Amino acid sequence: MSQIRDLLNSSGKTLPKPGMPEQARPGPLKETEPHPSEKILIVQSAHPEHVLRALEQLKERHVFAHPSYTLLCRNRPEILEFFQAHPMLAGIRGHSGVRTAWQNLRGLRRENYDGVVLFFACEPGHWKIQLLAFLLGVPNKLIFKENNDYFLFTWKAAFSLIRQRLGSRLKISCRNGMLRMAAWLKWPFGRRPQPAVPAGEQERYPGERILVLQSARPPCILRALDRLKQAPLFTNPRYTFFCRDYPEVREQFQNHPMLYEFRVHARTQNSWNHLRRLRRERFDAVVLFMAGDPGYWKIQCFAFLLGTRHKVIFNENNDCFYFTWKAWFGLLAHRMAARSKLSTHASWTSQVAGLFLFLVKLLLLPFRFAWLLIVWLHLRRSAMKASS
């Protein structure tokens, strides 16, 4: 029996077990076939360093059995150079954003990838490529979060992630709201901004503290500062410049010899805090510009809410006047006359459109004025309560 078993083993056959049917008896041994590789697409929907950490974690955890990774990233030289020599990547495909989105979508769908790896790291600017990953028709989607944790996409996991994100944002917004309320009510734990100039120095300073609001383009403001230097309107003025946080504005005004203080704002962000701080400093006058430049109407309305006694207005011709209702209506009449002269040379459709827009602005003016009046009354009542 042992001789027969040795003969069968040498011939590549196995000895059938007793009682086993002939159809179920194993045949000759076969060599093991190599495992087919899994085609995995990595979509760069986060910062490159975040993608690099995810690749290291995929290598350590062995998430896929025999992966062949292809990276889809922006077609930029610094990003391509960052991933070019990575040993885990079998290929790199670049895309040019929205311009080639449809072409990339059709090409990627033809590849029939087995899985896709994408990133939800709370980084702005990647929502389009994240949406593209869900349009590829790939059955398995592995999602990495901002803390480098990952999960396989299911609707239950997606809704839990959304609930977690909304809960954290709600906590942050509630905390910021409580701090603002505490600062408004002057509670001890509220973060109350302090004025740039100490109170004792303000009392000893004999001159006037003037706030200059950037409500026009920088060349117009530079001409106005030159005029204020040549023909001064104030007694020993100390100018504080309040402008947008743009690099070109910083370069022109940050080291200007006439400006005592330089402050910036991010347009409508923290506008309520800026308004309360500037009202608390009680400037003697404010300088603003109405030069016909679009996009400055918010900061122009902001100037009228500061509660300063004197307002100096510069127009597009570098002429200036103190704000009075008579001078204000004179400026409006001059602007309307200039627009009517320009509209006579335009087509009849442009004239009708201009007249229609003028009527709409007239209808909306009472509501905008009422809103400004309500805000002014609210701030005045709060100031009276604080002083009492």
Query: What pLDDT, on a 0 to 100 scale, did the predictor assign at position 92?
Result: 92
Query: What pLDDT, on a 0 to 100 scale, did the predictor assign at position 329?
Result: 77
319-346 confidence digits (pLDDT tens)? 888 888 887 777 777 766 666 555 455 5
* Cα 388 from Cα 356, distance rounded (Å): 49
Quick one: average pLDDT of 250-279? 83
Quick one: average pLDDT of 352-356? 64
Q: How confident is the model at residue 193 (pLDDT cuts 50, 70, 90)?
A: very low
| Residues of the chain above pLDDT 90, percent | 15
Give the dihedral of Cα atoms 38, 39, 43, 47; nearest 10 deg: 60
| Strand pairing category for 38-43 and 67-74 | parallel
Quick one: average pLDDT of 227-249? 87
Q: Residue for token digits 């076969």?
A: 30
Kindly state the tokens that stand for 191: 């973060």
Query: What pLDDT, on a 0 to 100 scale, did the predictor assign at position 3?
Result: 46
Least confident of 159-173, 217-231, 276-290: 159-173
Q: Could you give the count of Cα atoms lying within 13 Å of 236 in the half-sphere of its Cβ?
A: 3
Query: What pLDDT, on a 0 to 100 scale, did the predictor assign at position 195?
Result: 40
Q: How confident is the model at residue 189 (pLDDT cuts 50, 70, 90)?
A: very low
270-277 contact pairs (CB < 8 A, 24+):
271/302, 272/180, 273/180, 273/193, 274/242, 275/302, 275/305, 275/306, 275/379, 276/184, 277/193, 277/195
* Cα 289 from Cα 292, distance rounded (Å): 9
Contact 257, 183 (CB under 8 A): no
Query: Could you tell me the domains of the chain?
Result: 38-153 (3.40.50.2000), 199-346 (3.40.50)
Whether 93 shows a pLDDT value over 50: the answer reads: yes
Q: How confident is the model at residue 162 (pLDDT cuts 50, 70, 90)?
A: confident
Mean pLDDT of the chain: 77
Sheet containing strand 320-322, edge to edge, reads 259-265, 237-244, 208-213, 285-290, 310-315, 320-322
Which pTM value belongs to this model?
A: 0.41
* Cα 323 from Cα 309, distance rounded (Å): 10
| Residues of the chain above pLDDT 70, percent | 71
Q: In this structure, what are the phi and psi dihedrals at residue 312, rounded to the nearest 5 degrees?
A: -105, 125
Q: How confident is the model at residue 54 (pLDDT cuts 50, 70, 90)?
A: very high
Query: What pLDDT, on a 0 to 100 scale, did the predictor assign at position 239?
Result: 92
Whether 167 shows a pLDDT value over 50: the answer reads: yes
User: What number of other Cβ atoms are within 10 A of residue 275's Cβ?
Assistant: 16
3-state per-residue secondary structure call for the chain = CHHHHHHHHHCCCCCCCCCCCCCCCCCCCCCCCCCCCEEEEEECCCCHHHHHHHHHHHHHHCCCCCEEEEEEEECCHHHHHHHCCCCCEEEEEEECHHHHHHHHHHHHHHHCCCEEEEEECCCCCCHHHHHHHHCCCCCEEEEEECCCCEEECCHHHHHHHHHHHHHHHHHHHHHHHHHHHHHHCCCCCCCCCCCCCCHHHHHHCCCEEEEEECCCCHHHHHHHHHHHHHCCCCCCEEEEEEEECCHHHHHHHCCCCCEEEEEEEECCECHHHHHHHHHHHCCCEEEEEECCCCCCHHHHHHHCCCCCCEEEEEECCCCEEECCHHHHHHHHHHHHHHHHHHHHCCCHHHHHHHHHHHHHHHHHHHHHHHHHHHHHHHHHHHHHHHHC
Query: What pLDDT, on a 0 to 100 scale, did the predictor assign at position 359?
Result: 67
Whether 8 shows a pLDDT value over 60: the answer reads: no
Query: What pLDDT, on a 0 to 100 scale, did the predictor assign at position 4?
Result: 42
Query: What pLDDT, on a 0 to 100 scale, did the predictor assign at position 188?
Result: 45
104-158 confidence digits (pLDDT tens)? 888 899 999 999 999 988 777 788 888 888 999 898 999 998 888 889 998 888 8
* Cα 211 from Cα 308, distance rounded (Å): 10
Quick one: average pLDDT of 14-42? 57
Whether 256 shows a pLDDT value over 80: the answer reads: yes
State how far the alpha carbon of 179 is from the alpha carbons of 133, 191, 218, 277, in Å: 40, 7, 35, 15
Quick one: average pLDDT of 216-223? 89
Contact 287, 227 (CB under 8 A): no
Whether 212 shows a pLDDT value over 70: the answer reads: yes
Query: What pLDDT, on a 0 to 100 scale, did the predictor assign at position 291?
Result: 82
Query: What pLDDT, on a 0 to 100 scale, did the predictor assign at position 35?
Result: 59
Q: Residue for token digits 């929502």?
A: 127
Burial 237-250 (b: 16+ CB within 10 A, else e): bbbbbbbeeeeebe
Whether 206 shows a pLDDT value over 70: the answer reads: no
Q: How confident is the model at residue 272 (pLDDT cuts 50, 70, 90)?
A: confident
